[in-house]
Amino acid sequence: MLFNSWGFVLLLLITFVVYYVPYLKRMQVQILIASSLVFYAYGQPHLLLLLLTSAAINIGASYLIVNGNAAQRKLYAALGVIINLGILSYFKYGSLLAHTFMDTSMGIGHYLTLIPLPIGISFYTFEGISLLVDVYSNKHSDKLSIDRSFSQHTIKTLFFISFFPHLIAGPILKAYEFYPQIGSKSIKNIDWEYVFKKLTLGYFLKMVVADNLANFTFWMAAPYYHMKSSVSLIAMLLGYSFQIFADFAGYSFIALGLAKMFGYDLLENFQFPYISTSFSEFWRRWHISLSTFLKEYLYIPLGGNRKGKFRTYFNLTITMVLGGLWHGAAWSYAVWGAFHGLALAIERLIDKSLGIKISSRTGLICKGIMVFSFVTLAWLLFRLPFNEVIAYLKAIGTNMHTSQDYAMVLCIMLYSFPVVLYHFFYIMPAHWKIQVVARKYQYVICGCMLFMIAVNSGPSGSFIYFQF
């Protein structure tokens, strides 16, 4: 079910009314669980069984780690993590392995290509793993406690995994951040200003910016790009960079606003990533919940930067390669992760080992342009198969004399402009007059965004990160 569908609006209104009915206050968590399961099952009800199975595994394993045989704690945790990874690998990477190593015309290879990709499986699997690791390590015992009552633990954990705002495209939650929030909520405590601003910005970015840009980045696919000029190809690549930000950041802002309506705070997932002047800064600003997960549950356990320079660079690269594969079942995603991993490693080498630092304004601007250009170029691996990426880059170099599509370039610039403006306002000094005016008339700006949502939304489409 899409956040920008009328079916979701109806489900949201019903859930909100029932949730805040006074005599149902003790059932608030159960109400959200029921609504979340309806949300997930809509369109593909058979996949609900997989979500419930995944939840059951994590409920049982986390409960046994705390309340089972103390001598078997490590076994319960290891089995839980292995089963989680096994389910994720089977459903997400079975087809990739079949196409890579097997004959897909018959037998097991053919069967593996028919496995459906359950929506949101990467997100709720990572959340289950984080729960098991945190319960076993006991690092967050002051925030994360497992109930002695199995029924209460089941309700809390199923809620943690299935809560609909984050269920199918994040942000990735950590149990120690979410469990302490579970409790009775009151409608009078809703921060309506926060909700309004997040929802307005989120829907604007998705429906006006991303969905309209999708009309033009569609032509990046083969064989269409062969007929486009070099300028159009570069414009489409830039447009896709702004589209993927608007699409995913838009989803995350909507998720934050929806969660706040029911009294829950989710992690900010984006902090103006396209102003970054280093690759490490980019990953502190882009998909923050994933980057912090990879750092906390993969990079640090691998040794982080504690085992020498070579091991540090290796850990950075392997973490990003696996992070790339998390995004999709194609080797192009692994290459995308490797590009970012190598960039982080080289950056660390230059900064830490060679001691080369650039702090001048001109230098930082140049670094920012370089980081944005690299990130944008790498997004091609999200949009096209690897062999088509090479062909697309060749077309940029060879199609210089192809007739220009000025209307397309102009439209891409127009729909990309809000993303540029969004980042520009963040870095603009607070005392500038345009900043003062924008703060004074912020609700007028929100009104303009709502008007654009009503009259200039693009064709409705699923969120890009639904495929992950």
In 3D, which of 19, 50, 13, 47 has the Cα closest to residue 33?
19
Contacts of 95-100 with C-beta under 8 Å, sequence gap 24+, read 95/329, 96/329, 96/330, 96/331, 100/331
To the nearest 10°, the Cα dihedral for 306, 307, 308, 309? -70
Name the burial class of residue 173, with classes exposed (0-12), middle (13-18) and buried (19+) by CB atoms within 10 angstroms of its CB.
buried
Spatial separation of the C-alpha atoms in residues 160 and 158, rounded to whole Å: 5
The pair of structure tokens assigned to 83 is 């089963």
Residue 294 belongs to what H/E stretch?
helix 288-294
The Cα–Cα gap between 292 and 350 comes to 23
Cα separations in angstroms, 424 against 75, 270, 435: 51, 15, 10
- The CA distance from 14 to 31, in Å, is 10
Short-list 2, 3, 461, CA closest to 256: 3
CB-based contacts of 336, cutoff 8 Å, min separation 6: 324, 327, 378, 381, 382
Catalytic residue chosen out of the listed positions 287, 327, 340, 423: 327
Taken in order 409, 410, 414, 420, the sign of the CA dihedral is: positive
CA dihedral defined by 171, 176, 181, 183, rounded to 10 degrees?
120
**153 close to 246: Cβ distance less than 8 angstroms:** no
Q: Show Cβ contacts of residue 34 under 8 Å, excluding neighbours closer than 6 positions.
A: none
Contact 52, 128 (CB under 8 A): no
153 is catalytic: no
Catalytic residues: 327
